[in-house]
Structure 1
Amino acid sequence: MNKQEQAEKDYMAGIKYKDIAAKYDVSINTVKSWKNRHGWHRGSSKKDASPPKRVHTKPEKGAHKKEDTSDKLTPSQELFCQLVGGKRMPLYRAYMIAYEESEPSVSTAMTNSSKLAKEEKVALRITKISEEEAAKHEWSLDKVIDSLTFLHDEAKADVYQYGVRKANTDAMLNSLDRITNLLHISDEGKRAKAEADIAQSKANEVNSNGSDGNIVIVDEWSDDDDTDD
């Protein structure tokens, strides 16, 4: 294949006159002459018609690209989900990493990350990753509840055995709070019962100490400071 035939193939591929001329070390007029002499055409009904130019719009700084409406996540979305669901990273921080190419500001990341996390396919992916991470470490809601229940029961037993102290009451109430939150229990009856148990335990302790006649007990549950002899 000679130089003119190679140049024709380049022309048919849409390469510009000046680029063809430079490639084959000839003038632009020579390329045009070859084109006219041999009747080169690029497949358009209009002679010498050049392919339409592609216009690329630069994305607005700090804004993530318009997301695909299909179920498939973009690479940036997937990374965002991995950081949030797998690494437990704050939304805005995960967004700044996943979309660092657009250089989002912190305020932009906070706004956009919240919206992104609410998109159905993104939210489902984050949930799935979180479940996979929990399964990998053999954690489950039941195991967490069992551990907190154990802590609650041990703290309660300690209250009965050694009396009311800040350490055991805090442990008991904190574990109860966490169990209530995890199970989304709105009824305050269980907490009220636990607090009643503590109050009864304290009352029993007061009665037990007061029975020997040697220990003076100040009743913190009444408004007066009278004590029994």
Structure 2
Amino acid sequence: MRQDAHNSGDASAAPCAGLRIGDMAPDFSARSTTGDVRLSDYRGRWLVLFSHPADFTPVCTTEFVALARAAGDFAQRDCALMALSVDSLFSHFAWLRMIRDRFDVEVRFPILEDPTLVIGRGYGMVAPGDSDSGAVRSTFFIDPEGVIRAMTCYPANVGRSTPEMLRMLDALQAVDKETSLAPANWQPGEALLGQPQADLDSVFAAQGEADWFLGKAGAGARR
């Protein structure tokens, strides 16, 4: 397992880095179920990097089944999926074989091995002194420039929502396209919000009392 330097130095030398939205995603290379993987090779498209505590766990198994079935939906959005676990490559293989035989779905996106927790620590998923991977339940939405645009973290006993992951991706892509804002519960095809006006004349000239900061952005984003 190899961990490379990133914009603020070597992530392996600064465990539990406390990454934030807007940071560059730390680069790394690792073995995976689809061969050797380097994060920076995914530049130019969106990437969802998500982690799970261990193979052969109930909640994670349901997540991988759901994500494998939705892989085409992510691909349509020019987004790759990449999973991370502390388990070994051969444990991943055995788990994926079980998933295929039991659920009739093949997991074809890469699953990385992270037995020394170097990637988990570099991404701040695991505290420096932790030897337990139970906290490794994070998701990072990384844009084509390699910037972390959103992060979510779930407990071990609650599974992720695949529709919400897709909605997050749709919203991030939509606000980039229109330089606008996605309101609560926004869905593709619905109107986005415009950026608030930043000068007093525009505030006083707005037709409605809230239009200067709560107005729609054009006709909205459409897929």
Query: Considering the TM-score relative to the shorter chain, is it more than 0.5?
Result: no
Q: Which has the higher strand share?
A: 2
What TM-score, normalized by structure 1, do the two folds share? Answer: 0.18
More helix by percentage: 1
